[in-house]
Amino acid sequence: MRAVVQERYGTSGVWQVAERPVPEPGPGEVLIRVAAAALDRGTWHLMAGLPFAVRPAVGLRAPRTPVPGRDLAGEITAVGPGVAGLAVGDAVFGTAPRGSLAEYAIAPADRIAHAPAGLAPEAAAALGVSGQTAWQAVHTAGRVTAGASVLVLGASGGVGTFAVQIARAAGASVTAVCRTGSVDLVRGLGATEVIDRTSTDVAGLGRRWDVVLDIGGNPPVSRLRRLLTPRGTAVLVGGERPDARITGGYGRLLRAAALSPLLRQRLVVLVASENSTDLGHLRDLVETGELTPVLDRTVGLDDAGAAIEHLGSGRARGKIVVRIGSDQSADRRSGTGAHQETIRQSHSTGP
């Protein structure tokens, strides 16, 4: 099978397409013929091997998992012992911890779910990592309820575009913050209010929100607290510090976790999990029309390196998807379904 292979850390040039044997599923696993896979920020970090603090867990000199990527959508072609509720021929989506940028991938049965009815595989692939992260930020960590006021920082990225929609589906009033070029896109996702961060400092507005979702930024914890109501919740989803090659943004996250027990406000560092239950929640929102993946672009397997470079630039709006099973994707795109034409495409020169 053809797959993207990475044998060392570095820039996008370390990704090479090569032939690899088709893996076999073990107990509790399934083999999936991959139609599409999506890229996420964690995949970029594993390509670069940054921050250095993560290397003891993922490989000191090279990644332990040579095939990158986690998100996928496709069709089950083999089922390992002990798998229930899934069968050969099922269309599924979710995550593959051993790599998804390949024609075939192994996924644990508890990290995939049946794909939303009528949704193209390119869109279904976009849901896995970022969709679950957004769901858990809104519901598990943020505890968002109907009528709550929610501020989404970084609303135009892969996680942010999902978070805006999921919070709105929960009945919240959503204020979204993004750059100028993404204002119309984010407003179209259902945000109650959109703030252009290039012209307006949200902290200078003197307003407070019940929940603040800090997605991929690196604002000081003190700044987040000033945006919260006295008993509000800030959810820290990652954090980028390009200048901190050793620890990345983990120092800020650790400080927030240590400070939270001393405050009336809640500072929650989100460590997202991958599970079929939350995938089911996402599927339900898609099928009721309350959640639509936003795709920045879709590329072929040979262009995956250029795509991850674009993601690393910070200019992607929504998700970047790699189409792998071209024949299968074409067949499904020619079909009909309630959501077949609702994928939001987001091509632009900037966020």
pLDDT of 121 > 60? The answer is: yes
More confident residue, 49 or 89: 89
Same domain, 149 and 255: yes
pLDDT value of residue 240: 61
* Cα–Cα dist 133/279, whole Å: 10
The predicted-structure confidence for 71-87, as pLDDT tens digits, reads as follows 999 999 999 999 999 99
Same domain, 145 and 258: yes
Q: Where is the domain boundary, 253, 269, 285? A: 269
Look at residue 88 and tell me if it is in a domain: yes
Same domain, 26 and 106: yes
The predicted-structure confidence for 267-294, as pLDDT tens digits, reads as follows 999 999 999 999 999 999 999 999 999 9
pLDDT of 340 > 80? The answer is: no
Same domain, 162 and 253: yes
Same domain, 51 and 75: yes
Same domain, 119 and 160: no
Task: Indicate the pLDDT class of residue 245, thresholds 50, 70 and 90.
Answer: low
Are the beta carbons of 122 and 294 closer than 8 angstroms?
A: no
Q: Where is the domain boundary, 269, 302, 330? A: 269
The CATH number of the domain where 229 resides is what? Answer: 3.40.50.720
pLDDT of 135 > 80? The answer is: yes
pTM of the model: 0.90
Look at residue 33 and tell me if it is in a domain: yes
CB neighbourhood size of 290 (10 A): 14
Same domain, 116 and 18: yes
Task: Indicate the pLDDT class of residue 239, thresholds 50, 70 and 90.
Answer: low
Same domain, 116 and 150: no
Look at residue 351 and tell me if it is in a domain: no
Q: What is the mean pLDDT of the segment spanning 131-142? A: 98
pLDDT value of residue 346: 62
Same domain, 71 and 88: yes
The CATH number of the domain where 315 resides is what? Answer: 3.90.180.10
pLDDT value of residue 283: 98
Look at residue 277 and tell me if it is in a domain: no
The predicted-structure confidence for 26-73, as pLDDT tens digits, reads as follows 999 999 999 999 999 999 989 988 878 888 888 888 899 999 999 999
Domain encompassing residue 154? 130-269
Look at residue 235 and tell me if it is in a domain: yes
Same domain, 90 and 37: yes
Task: Indicate the pLDDT class of residue 331, thresholds 50, 70 and 90.
Answer: very low
Same domain, 92 and 203: no
Q: Where is the domain boundary, 222, 253, 269? A: 269
Look at residue 274 and tell me if it is in a domain: no
Look at residue 288 and tell me if it is in a domain: no
Task: Indicate the pLDDT class of residue 243, thresholds 50, 70 and 90.
Answer: low
More confident residue, 290 or 325: 290
Number of domains the chain is built from: 2
Task: Indicate the pLDDT class of residue 335, thresholds 50, 70 and 90.
Answer: very low
pLDDT value of residue 343: 54
Same domain, 137 and 261: yes
Cα within 13 Å of Cα(215), Cβ side = 35
Q: Which of 98, 34, 103, 20 is nearest to 65 (CA)?
A: 98
Look at residue 280 and tell me if it is in a domain: no
